[in-house]
Amino acid sequence: MKRKTDLPELLAPAGDMEALYAAVAAGADAVYVGGKLFSARAYAKNFDLEELARAVIFCHMNGVRLYVTVNTLIYDREADELIGYCKELARIGVDALIIADLGAIRRIRREVPGLALHASTQMSLHNTPATEVAYSLGCERAVLARECSLREIRSAVEHSPCEIEVFLHGALCVCHSGQCLFSSMVGGRSGNRGECAQPCRLPYNGSYPLSLSDLSLAGHIGELIDSGVSSLKIEGRMKSPDYVYRVTSIYRRLLDERRNAGKGEHASLAAVFSRGGFTDGYFTGHPEQRMTGVRSEQDKEATRAEQTGATYAPVRHKIYATARFLAGEPASLSLTDGVRTASAFGEIPAPALSAPLTAPDLKARLSKLGATFFSLAPEDIALELSDGVNLSPSAINALRRTAAAALEEQFAAPLLPQKSLPALPDDPPKADLPDGSSALFLDPALPGKISDLLGDFAYRFLPLFRLSEAKPGIANGVYLPPVLMDSELPAAREALKRAKAQGIAYALVGNLGGIALAKEAGLLPIGDFRLNIMNRETASVYRSLGVSLAILSPELTLPMARDLLRGSDGLLFAYGRVPLMLTERCFVKENFGCESCGRAALTDRKGQKFPILREYDHRNLIFNSAVTYMGDRGEDLRRAGVRRLHFLFSTENERQAREAIEGFRKGTPLPQNIAVRRIGKRETNA
């Protein structure tokens, strides 16, 4: 949906109140912040509810919208707390929530219906079918994946029913957002829960191949304006107020002047913060160009040299007052900014015993609004004052505070009305699915070599675009690439049509957009773990979209999976190397050469090897160094109520695949030379 305004919104970050003041002073149209709960930047300072309420009032006084991030995945035990928190956010008047969990979206729509919702980039929205689903669930805006090119952005704007927001400047994740499990699986700190330890910034193979330079689209302002996007977002809730002010002010000037950055502005942005320069590789559609970068001593020195030491105070909102302090009637004070007016009444002035009130002293006391965001000059107070009366300082202060609070309350409402949204979809009748486990074979030749063991799997998936490489009839499902841009959809639709003609019945989908593609082709969608199902409400939302069976998030512990599976059906990731990252760039070609495709691996400082395989088209999957294996934990699985298991075969040869399947049959461990990871725990060799 093309925006209705001349220029896109400039959306700035703020990690604390001073950064918020800086963003507004620099000309942001909107600011996004995180609260103390459910924020994907758990280690930022963030705002408590009282600070959020003050932030809303301050922003609205300046005509600036305030969005709050509620963009972590939610556990079942947190759902009620989340709704209580969102009710408080609605009460204080935030303009929208930036949200990632589908179950949370539906509960908020039902229980806090006045809150506007923006679909976070953590939802991996990279094609129009995905933004259409986000809109159908209640999101009036979609934040596109950072990996989208200008071509894909234009397509989304043209065909999506919701507003489109894109990232303009700041740090880049090397993995598609919402698809990174590296920090969680290896370090025990979930990026999907706001605790990312940034393993991408660490060395591998003696260098820093996963550390990307920051994004800067300062050279593409004209194209962004012409694209019709509704919002341009600066990343940086962990950054300083000075960073926020300087970056925001540069982009404010570029947008207002409708021009691309010049050499001086590029240099200023780099001096504020960079990692060996900037990149626009995703936007231009050339991710193969140099995009990696680390923060060098030269970068740090440039930033230190540019630091101003400035502090940022709130821009105060000018108001006017009318006051009456007359004998025999309650004192009154009316405050106005010319649009809004609030009045308060106080005590009746008493006859003065010694020193009566004077106009200069009274105006000076009434203008002391330092605890508010208002500015009231004594000369802007119209005063009626009887001779010879007095009122205690505490009574005057109470009158002033009451009137100011009443005027502030008028700013505690969203600046824009919530848009009309479609009704929530109902759960369809439960599909009649075969009982049993599933397996995904990334090597199409492997299942043919172990055909005698395939009876263990009711669902056998092969990559969609490699189906022709397998023996006919050996698979009954296809695995859709987890990323399909709009420009790639025609090829995917044609491949799905061929798969259906060959007798394929199921499609393993890992993205909102893939659900619609599977259903269009007449295939039954089965949810991959990439759908990030962590709670019962989210599982229910996916059922309403036609996904009757799905693999639960591998971040869940067994007790969590047990609770989620009560009254529901699902698959548990019980064997295989968990894909830790899905990258837009081909790190195999860049670091090892195309001849190493299928054999490349990243080696960390501890000597652990993380295999890399090619994903469609030339994207990469980076897998865990350890293999998840629960074959010898059958009793634990049964106690947790797990009936269906999911197996992922990635780098295995025939012998290793047989050992794994037979290990589950017999309840025995894997060979001792294989590093094993248990569900909900870090890797171990036991």
Claim to verify: residue 96 and residue 221 sit in the same structural domain? yes
Q: Which two tokens stand for residue 203?
A: 């060395």
Contact (Cβ atoms closer than 8 angstroms) between residue 519 and residue 548: no
Q: 420 pLDDT exceeds 90?
A: no
Give domain status of residue 87, yes or no: yes
> Among candidates 436, 453, 481, 461, which has minimal Cα distance to 656?
453
Claim to verify: residue 534 and residue 634 sit in the same structural domain? yes
Claim to verify: residue 167 and residue 110 sit in the same structural domain? yes
pLDDT tier at 686, thresholds 50, 70, 90 = very low
The per-residue pLDDT for range 576-589, each reduced to its tens digit, is: 999 999 999 999 99
- Residue 255 vs residue 420, higher pLDDT: 255
The per-residue pLDDT for range 448-460, each reduced to its tens digit, is: 999 999 999 999 9
Q: 425 pLDDT exceeds 80?
A: no
d(CA 683, CA 181): 14
Claim to verify: residue 75 and residue 137 sit in the same structural domain? yes
Contact (Cβ atoms closer than 8 angstroms) between residue 653 and residue 598: no
Give domain status of residue 64, yes or no: yes
Claim to verify: residue 223 and residue 342 sit in the same structural domain? no
Claim to verify: residue 383 and residue 504 sit in the same structural domain? no
Q: What is the mean pLDDT of residues 668-678?
A: 86
pLDDT tier at 44, thresholds 50, 70, 90 = low
Contact (Cβ atoms closer than 8 angstroms) between residue 49 and residue 405: no
The per-residue pLDDT for range 519-528, each reduced to its tens digit, is: 999 999 999 9
Claim to verify: residue 401 and residue 535 sit in the same structural domain? no
Give domain status of residue 461, yes or no: yes
d(CA 325, CA 389): 8
Strands 619-623 and 609-615 come out as: antiparallel
Identify residue 31 by its one-letter amino acid code: V
121 CB-near residues (< 8 Å, 6+ apart): 143, 144, 145, 146, 167, 177, 178
Claim to verify: residue 452 and residue 539 sit in the same structural domain? yes
Q: 7 pLDDT exceeds 60?
A: yes
Claim to verify: residue 344 and residue 463 sit in the same structural domain? no
> Among candidates 245, 235, 265, 229, which has minimal Cα distance to 32?
235
Q: Which two tokens stand for residue 81?
A: 């707390």
Q: What's residue 2's pLDDT?
A: 82
Strand (E) or helix (H) holding 60? helix 49-61
pLDDT over 90 for what percent of the chain? 87
d(CA 119, CA 137): 10
Q: What's residue 567's pLDDT?
A: 67
The per-residue pLDDT for range 469-510, each reduced to its tens digit, is: 999 999 999 999 999 999 999 999 999 999 999 999 999 999
pLDDT tier at 685, thresholds 50, 70, 90 = very low
- The domain that holds 58 is classified in CATH as 3.20.20.70
Q: Give the E-state strand segments of 397-553 in sequence order.
A: 437-441, 457-463, 477-479, 506-509, 524-527, 549-550
263 CB-near residues (< 8 Å, 6+ apart): none
Contact (Cβ atoms closer than 8 angstroms) between residue 551 and residue 113: no
Average per-residue pLDDT for the chain: 94
Give domain status of residue 418, yes or no: no
Contact (Cβ atoms closer than 8 angstroms) between residue 341 and residue 334: yes
Q: 304 pLDDT exceeds 90?
A: no
Q: What's residue 93's pLDDT?
A: 97
Domain span at residue 220 reads: 9-172+215-259
Give domain status of residue 597, yes or no: no
Q: What is the mean pLDDT of residues 416-422?
A: 84
Give domain status of residue 98, yes or no: yes
d(CA 664, CA 26): 60
Query: Per mean pLDDT, which of 25-29, 74-78, 679-683 is the most reliable?
Result: 25-29
Claim to verify: residue 450 and residue 402 sit in the same structural domain? no
Claim to verify: residue 373 and residue 225 sit in the same structural domain? no
The per-residue pLDDT for range 136-172, each reduced to its tens digit, is: 999 999 999 999 999 999 999 999 999 999 999 999 9
Q: Which two tokens stand for residue 227?
A: 């694209």
Q: What is the mean pLDDT of residues 407-416?
A: 94
Q: What's residue 354's pLDDT?
A: 87
pLDDT tier at 431, thresholds 50, 70, 90 = confident
d(CA 675, CA 663): 15
Print burial letters for 456-473: b (CB count within 10 Å at least 16), e (below 16): bbbbbbbbbbbbeebeee
Pick the range with the lowest mean pLDDT from 241-250, 282-291, 452-461. Answer: 282-291
Give domain status of residue 594, yes or no: no
- Number of domains making up the chain: 3
The per-residue pLDDT for range 318-355, each reduced to its tens digit, is: 999 999 999 999 999 999 999 999 999 999 999 998 88
Claim to verify: residue 476 and residue 538 sit in the same structural domain? yes
Identify residue 356 by its one-letter amino acid code: P
Give domain status of residue 224, yes or no: yes
Identify residue 670 by its one-letter amino acid code: L
